């Protein structure tokens, strides 16, 4: 037993997950404190406005952080790395400036769509985040490529302390939704400082876009997948805000964050850990299979107890911690929380496809899943927010295990195509 434990804790994936778990638990503890404060300071309308602002900023984040240049840097061979990194740096500047302008242009139509002018300037101001990203994005990607995820964990913890403390201070000063906006903006500097201090790479100064097509051809699949993930994560918000009211959206958004927030944090942690881990074994199918199965087991060990504990205790802790005004959100919270159970397994399967250069299969699946999910949510939105939450739970429990099974069968049987039939 002692030898097994020693081998377990010396495993690189477990070490990386350990660091990320510690940082994300730390971040989540702080965020729970923030939710408690905001649950007592914010009105349901302000929660609804916050949901819309987060939805907009997360859409842009898909381009610059999740589906941008980082995945190709992590996956590249050592021989091609130097040229790819230099091109990725300048490509990222073009991308971030474009996203900044795009979000600014979206601000007025979004405010008009929801009939709330309070959204206009917060959306414009938060767009400034993307002009800071190129100053640390390449260093972040290289650190992840080197499996030094301890650095990312430290950066996340520092960012959490700074941003969430700022939210509390500004919210208690009565700044309302602007407390979120300023915290999102200023907290980016913590990432800039940590990543630049922990990696020596700097741009050469000469603008180069050589090989940009190779980066684009790889990243287009990760970008497509992440955009569809974003759409599925936010389509329920957008439809509830449109079909019902901002107050109802605030109730749903509270339930989503109080119920699924901790689980999604763990799932994102798994995503950051698993992709470099699988890429390291991709040249050996047997080793890759072992890494994949190990990743699934670790996912189960983390997610199952977390979700079941949180959902079963929801009727007890919600009125005590967040106040009685959120009691109507408890059934929604439980259903949304349970929908997290199959999510990490599908995510690991997506990372497996990307690691073996089959991102197109992952993209096709995500298109299929997003269509089914969107239609289901639209049908649920014709009734009430409780039906919407039930639809979210049902679709995830039904379809994601099927995808996980199909990916494993396809990759490890040597098939070139993933059959959705």
* Shared-domain flag, residues 109 and 50: yes
Query: Is 66 inside any structural domain?
Result: yes
Query: Is 2 inside any structural domain?
Result: no
If you average pLDDT over residues 375-393, what whole number do you get?
Answer: 87
319-329 pLDDT tens trace: 877 777 778 88
pLDDT of residue 2: 47
* Shared-domain flag, residues 186 and 326: no
pLDDT of residue 271: 65
Query: Is 278 inside any structural domain?
Result: yes
* Shared-domain flag, residues 63 and 158: yes
Reported confidence tier of residue 294, pLDDT bands at 50, 70, 90: confident
Number of domains in the chain: 2
Q: Does pLDDT of 419 surpass 60?
A: no
- CB–CB of 50/116 below 8 Å? no
* Shared-domain flag, residues 207 and 254: no
* Shared-domain flag, residues 119 and 156: yes
DSSP state string for 335-391:
HHHHTTSSHHHHHHHHHHHHHTT-HHHHHHHHHHHHHHHHHHHHHHTTT-HHHHHHH
* Shared-domain flag, residues 141 and 103: yes
Look up residue 134 and give its two tokens: 């190129």
* Shared-domain flag, residues 319 and 385: yes
pLDDT of residue 108: 92
Look up the pTM and report it: 0.65
- Which one is predicted more confidently, 11 or 41? 41
Q: Does pLDDT of 8 surpass 50?
A: no
Query: Is 230 inside any structural domain?
Result: no
Query: Is 225 inside any structural domain?
Result: no
Q: Containing domain of residue 36, as a range?
A: 12-220
Please tell me the number of Cα atoms within 13 Å of 213 on its side-chain side.
0
What SS3 string covers 269-283?
HHHHHHHHHHHCCCC
Q: How far apart are CA 373 and CA 396, in angstroms?
A: 9
- Which one is predicted more confidently, 277 or 371? 371
- Of 15-24, 32-41, 275-284, the range with the lowest mean pLDDT is 15-24
Reported confidence tier of residue 21, pLDDT bands at 50, 70, 90: low
Reported confidence tier of residue 17, pLDDT bands at 50, 70, 90: low
386-415 pLDDT tens trace: 888 899 899 999 999 999 999 988 888 865
Measure the N-to-C terminal CA separation of the chain; round to a whole number of Å: 44
3-state secondary structure of 244: coil
**Residue-averaged pLDDT of the chain:** 80
* Shared-domain flag, residues 149 and 74: yes
- CB–CB of 355/219 below 8 Å? no
Query: Is 120 inside any structural domain?
Result: yes
Residue 415 has φ and ψ, to the nearest 5°, of -70, 145
DSSP state string for 287-328:
HHHHHHHHHHHHHHHHHHHHHHHHHHHHHHHIIIII-GGGGG
* Shared-domain flag, residues 137 and 30: yes
* Shared-domain flag, residues 272 and 399: yes
Q: How far apart are CA 354 and CA 347, in angstroms?
A: 11
Q: Does pLDDT of 416 surpass 70?
A: no
pLDDT of residue 394: 94
Query: Is 201 inside any structural domain?
Result: yes
238-253 pLDDT tens trace: 777 677 776 777 777 7
Query: Is 6 inside any structural domain?
Result: no
250-264 pLDDT tens trace: 777 777 776 666 677
pLDDT of residue 9: 42
Q: What is the DSSP letter of 62?
A: I
* Shared-domain flag, residues 136 and 44: yes
* Shared-domain flag, residues 183 and 254: no
Q: Rounded to the nearest 10 degrees, what angle do helices 149-172 and 137-145 cross at? A: 140
- CB–CB of 380/388 below 8 Å? yes
């Amino acid at each position: 037993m002692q030898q097994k434990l020693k081998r377990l804790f010396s495993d690189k994936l477990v070490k990386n997950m350990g660091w990320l778990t510690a940082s994300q638990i730390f971040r989540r503890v702080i965020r729970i404190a923030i939710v408690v404060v905001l649950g007592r300071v914010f009105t349901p309308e302000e929660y609804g406005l916050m949901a819309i602002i987060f939805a907009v900023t997360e859409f842009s984040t898909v381009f610059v952080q999740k589906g941008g240049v980082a995945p190709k840097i992590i996956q590249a061979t050592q021989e091609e790395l130097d040229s790819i990194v230099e091109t990725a740096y300048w490509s990222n500047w073009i991308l971030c400036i474009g996203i900044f302008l795009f979000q600014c242009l979206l601000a007025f139509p979004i405010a008009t769509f929801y009939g709330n002018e309070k959204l206009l300037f917060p959306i414009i101001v938060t767009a400034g985040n993307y002009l800071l990203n190129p100053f640390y994005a390449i260093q972040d990607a290289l650190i992840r490529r080197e499996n030094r995820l301890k650095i990312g964990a430290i950066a996340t913890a520092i960012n959490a302390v700074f941003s969430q403390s700022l939210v509390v201070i500004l919210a208690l000063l009565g700044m309302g939704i602007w407390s979120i906006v300023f915290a999102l903006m200023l907290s980016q500097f913590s990432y800039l400082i940590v990543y630049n201090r922990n990696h020596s790479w700097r741009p050469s100064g000469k603008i180069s876009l050589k090989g940009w097509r190779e980066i684009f051809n790889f990243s287009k699949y990760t970008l497509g997948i992440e955009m569809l993930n974003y759409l599925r994560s936010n389509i329920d918000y957008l439809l509830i805000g449109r079909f019902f009211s901002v107050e109802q959206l605030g109730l749903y958004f509270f339930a989503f964050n109080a119920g699924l927030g901790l689980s999604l944090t763990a799932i994102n942690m798994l995503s950051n850990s698993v992709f470099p881990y699988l890429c390291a074994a991709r040249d050996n199918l047997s080793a890759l299979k072992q890494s994949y199965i190990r990743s699934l087991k670790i996912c189960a060990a983390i997610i199952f107890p977390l979700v079941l504990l949180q959902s079963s205790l929801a009727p007890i802790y919600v009125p005590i911690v967040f106040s009685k005004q959120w009691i109507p959100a408890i059934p929604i919270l439980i259903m949304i929380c349970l929908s997290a159970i199959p999510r990490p397994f599908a995510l690991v399967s997506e990372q497996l496809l990307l690691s073996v250069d089959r991102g197109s299969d992952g993209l096709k699946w995500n298109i299929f899943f997003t269509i089914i999910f969107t239609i289901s949510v639209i049908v649920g939105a014709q009734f009430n927010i409780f039906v919407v939450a039930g639809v979210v739970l049902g679709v995830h429990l039904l379809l994601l295990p099927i995808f996980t099974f199909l990916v494993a069968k396809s990759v490890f049987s040597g098939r070139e195509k993933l059959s959705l039939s």
